[in-house]
Amino acid sequence: MATGQKKQIGEQDHKTLAVWASDCAEHVLGYFEKANPDDGRPRKAIEAARAWVRGDLLMVDARKAAFASHVAARDASTSSAQFAARAAGHAAATAHVATHARYAGEYAIKAVTAAESDDSVITAEINWQSQQLPKYLHSIANRKSK
């Protein structure tokens, strides 16, 4: 591979990452909704990611939902809620760029870490995420954007 050239992933892998990112975000969405019960933007971002996977929503519309979820993060009343909204935003943004999936998972872990003092709960979240992602996609989800 030439210097500066990025390895592309297949469409199915991209969609699988979007599903995983959505699952991670939804797994911690309660932290946002408990603190901000009247704000549906993160839930709509997760739904947008899933609609994109099904072919029911254009990437640009999923991206708009991602931006809205990040605004909700800025408006959120607790750090765990902020991180949960960011997880949802990155889940929707995965429709645009697959490497956003990694950040959905990272922000989901941050949400749990901010809300829970028990290390076993944090470890359980990390293990849960790992179990949801097919093994061959681990390297894609963890690849850093260059």
Q: What is the pLDDT of residues 98-140, one digit of tens each?
A: 999 999 999 999 999 999 999 999 999 999 998 887 755 655 5
In the block, residue with structure tokens 């998972």 = 105
Q: What are the helix (H) ranges across 36-135?
A: 41-54, 59-75, 79-93, 100-115, 119-132
How many CB atoms neighbour CB 132 within 10 A? 14
The reply to whether 85 falls in a domain is yes
The reply to whether 4 falls in a domain is no
pLDDT tens per residue, range 34-68: 999 999 999 999 999 999 999 999 999 999 999 99
The reply to whether 52 falls in a domain is yes
Pairwise CA distance, residues 67 & 90, whole Å: 9
The reply to whether 3 falls in a domain is no
The reply to whether 84 falls in a domain is yes
The reply to whether 68 falls in a domain is yes
The count of structural domains within the chain is 1
The reply to whether 20 falls in a domain is yes
Among residues 91, 87, 65, which one has the least CA distance to residue 76? 87
Could you tell me the residue range of the domain that residue 124 belongs to? Answer: 11-142
Pairwise CA distance, residues 82 & 104, whole Å: 12
The angle, 0 to 180 degrees and rounded to 10, between the axes of the packed helices 11-35 and 41-54 is 160
* pTM (2 d.p.): 0.86
114-131 per-residue burial string, b: 16 or more CB within 10 A, e: under 16: bbeeeeeebeebeeebee
